[in-house]
């Protein structure tokens, strides 16, 4: 995947490097991941902070996986799957939709801005949408600042 190689931190960088968000994108194998491939083939540049994790279906992403990403240092998490009706496993993306709604509610209770978790449907032909989603979400997370940095409190 493009986007992974730039994540290696440069040890020669300035002593206090500017803060960069850590963003995890759970991409389903059949749609969103193929969309990422298309963005790559089209040489669509997008936010380098995003790290892609391929899962077989967005419905495979459990609440614990999303929360684990946040406890392990992610500042934003995306769950990307097929459009409703297009799921390779018929209804996996609908499960993902319910779970993400639940986790957003949990994040809100825990004092974390629920907009740090994003659910989007991206098909294999939507390389441009994939790139745009990455850019927009990365900009949003940059705006929110680091997790626990004080901007989450309402």
Partner 1 sequence: MPLDPRIDQYGASKCVECGRCTYACPASQIGGDFSPRRIMEQMLLSGKVPSNKDIWLCMTCMQCTQICQFGVQFHEVVREIRPELKKLLPPEGNHGGAPEYLERLSAMPGISPRKQRWMTPDLKLDENSSTLLFVGCTPYFDVIFRYLRTDLLDIPRSSVRLLNAAGISPRLLMDERCCGHDSYWLGDQGLFERLARMNVEAVERLGIQQLVAFCPECMVTWKQLYPKVMGKLSFEVRSVAEVVAEAIEDGRMELSRTEETYAFQDPCRLGRHAGIYDAPRTMLASTGNLAEMPRSRETAACCGNSSFVNCGPQTRLWQLERTGEAEGTGASTLVTACPKCLIHMTCAMNESVQLVERRKLPLMDIHVQTASRIIGPKKNPASGNR
* Residues forming the site for partner 1 (CB under 8 A): 62-65, 67-68, 70-71, 99, 102-103, 105-106, 108-112, 147-150, 152-154
- What is the phi/psi pair of residue 120, to 5°? -140, 150
Please report where in the chains the tokens 């740090």 appear, as a residue.
116
Minimum Å gap between C-beta 147 and partner 1 is 7
Closest C-alpha to 44, from 131, 144, 117? 131
- Residue closer to partner 1 by CB (options 106, 129) is 106
In this complex, which beta carbon is closest to partner 1, that of residue 40 or of residue 146?
A: 146
Distance, C-alpha 47 to centroid of its chain = 11
Least distance from partner 1 to the Cβ atom of residue 57, Å: 14
Q: Are 124 and 29 in contact (CB under 8 A)?
A: no
Give the nearer residue to partner 1 in terms of CB position, either 38 or 78.
Answer: 78
Between 16 and 109, whose beta carbon lies closer to partner 1?
Answer: 109
The nearer residue to partner 1, 15 or 154, going by C-beta atoms, is: 154
Residue 38 Cβ, how far from partner 1 at the closest point, in Å? Answer: 30
CB 68 → partner 1: shortest distance, Å? Answer: 5
Minimum distance, C-beta of residue 62 to partner 1, in the bound complex (Å) = 3
Q: What does the radius of gyration of the chain's CA atoms come to, in whole angstroms?
A: 15
Name residue 50's beta-bridge partners. 23
Sign of the CA dihedral running 50, 119, 81, 126: negative
Alpha-carbon gap, residue 67 to 65, rounded angstroms: 5
């Amino acid at each position: 995947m493009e986007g992974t190689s730039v994540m290696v931190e440069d040890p020669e960088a300035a002593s206090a490097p500017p803060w960069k968000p850590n963003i995890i994108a759970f991409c389903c194998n059949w749609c969103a991941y193929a969309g990422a491939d298309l963005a790559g083939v089209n040489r669509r540049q997008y936010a380098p902070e995003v790290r892609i994790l391929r899962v077989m279906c967005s419905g495979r992403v459990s609440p614990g996986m999303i929360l684990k990403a946040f406890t392990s240092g992610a500042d934003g998490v995306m769950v990307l799957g097929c459009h409703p009706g297009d799921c390779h496993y018929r209804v996996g993306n609908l499960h993902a939709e319910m779970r993400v709604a639940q986790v957003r509610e949990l994040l809100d209770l825990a004092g974390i801005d629920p907009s740090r978790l994003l659910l989007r449907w991206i098909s294999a032909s939507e390389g441009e949408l994939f790139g745009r989603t990455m850019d927009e979400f990365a900009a949003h997370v940059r705006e929110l600042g680091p997790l626990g940095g004080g901007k989450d409190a309402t």
